[in-house]
């Protein structure tokens, strides 16, 4: 992990790799960019066992779903308050990996050199019954989480 040579590069990691990175690096952070409603009703990753908390900053505002133009500024302020440096590992997570990729790219463009997209997300892809949370993702592999 660590800094990339291409300053806007964002790599894709699975949830197990993200958990290991958060465990191994005391300054690594998990950034959940879903909506407040998702945090409340679906749950949030619980980093209590690692002595951390998930950083919660919405990428899109609810209900209009437009991207928050102040996202990078708001997240940078949160990270600064946590003592995060621009080369610390940041793992971005959403429901299934698309909003978090966009958010990770925005933060890479803002100068954060070690942004990683958690490709499976919190709930993972839809299964055959069109349900999430059973195939892949944070919840499906049994990582700790809590209701928001």
| Neighbour count for residue 70 (Cβ, 10 Å) | 11
> What per-residue confidence (pLDDT) applies to 77?
97
Phi-psi region of 3 (alpha: psi -120 to 50; beta: other; left: phi over 0): beta
> What per-residue confidence (pLDDT) applies to 3?
45
- At 40, phi and psi to the nearest 5? -70, -50
Q: Give the 3-state secondary structure of residue 49.
A: helix
> What per-residue confidence (pLDDT) applies to 8?
62
H-run or E-run covering 29:
strand 29-32
* Domain 11-146: which CATH number of 3.10.20.600, 3.40.250.10, 3.40.50.620, 3.40.50.300: 3.40.250.10
For the chain, the straight-line distance linking the first and the last C-alpha, in angstroms and rounded, comes to 30
Q: Any idea where the domains of the chain sit in the sequence?
A: 11-146
Q: How far apart are CA 81 and CA 142, in angstroms?
A: 30
Find the DSSP H helices in the chain. Answer: 15-24, 36-41, 71-81, 98-109
pTM of the model: 0.90
> What per-residue confidence (pLDDT) applies to 128?
86
* Per-residue pLDDT in tens (0 to 9) along the chain, 148 residues: 544 445 468 999 999 999 999 999 999 999 999 999 999 999 999 999 999 999 999 999 777 778 999 999 999 999 999 999 999 999 999 998 899 999 999 999 999 999 999 999 999 887 888 777 677 899 988 999 998 7
> What per-residue confidence (pLDDT) applies to 5?
44
> What per-residue confidence (pLDDT) applies to 2?
47
């Amino acid at each position: 992990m660590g800094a990339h040579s291409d300053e806007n590069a964002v790599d894709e990691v699975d949830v197990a790799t993200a958990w290991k990175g958060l465990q191994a690096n005391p300054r690594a952070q998990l950034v959940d960019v879903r909506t407040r409603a998702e945090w409340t009703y679906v749950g949030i990753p619980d980093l209590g066992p690692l002595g951390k908390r998930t950083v919660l900053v919405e990428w899109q505002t609810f209900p209009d779903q437009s991207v928050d133009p102040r996202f990078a500024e708001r997240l940078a302020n949160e990270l600064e308050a946590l003592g995060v440096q621009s080369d610390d590992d940041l793992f971005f997570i959403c429901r299934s990996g698309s909003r978090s990729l966009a958010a990770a790219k925005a933060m890479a463009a803002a100068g954060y050199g070690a942004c990683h997209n958690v490709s499976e997300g919190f709930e993972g892809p839809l299964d055959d019954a069109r349900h999430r949370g059973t195939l892949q993702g944070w919840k499906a592999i049994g990582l700790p989480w809590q209701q928001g």
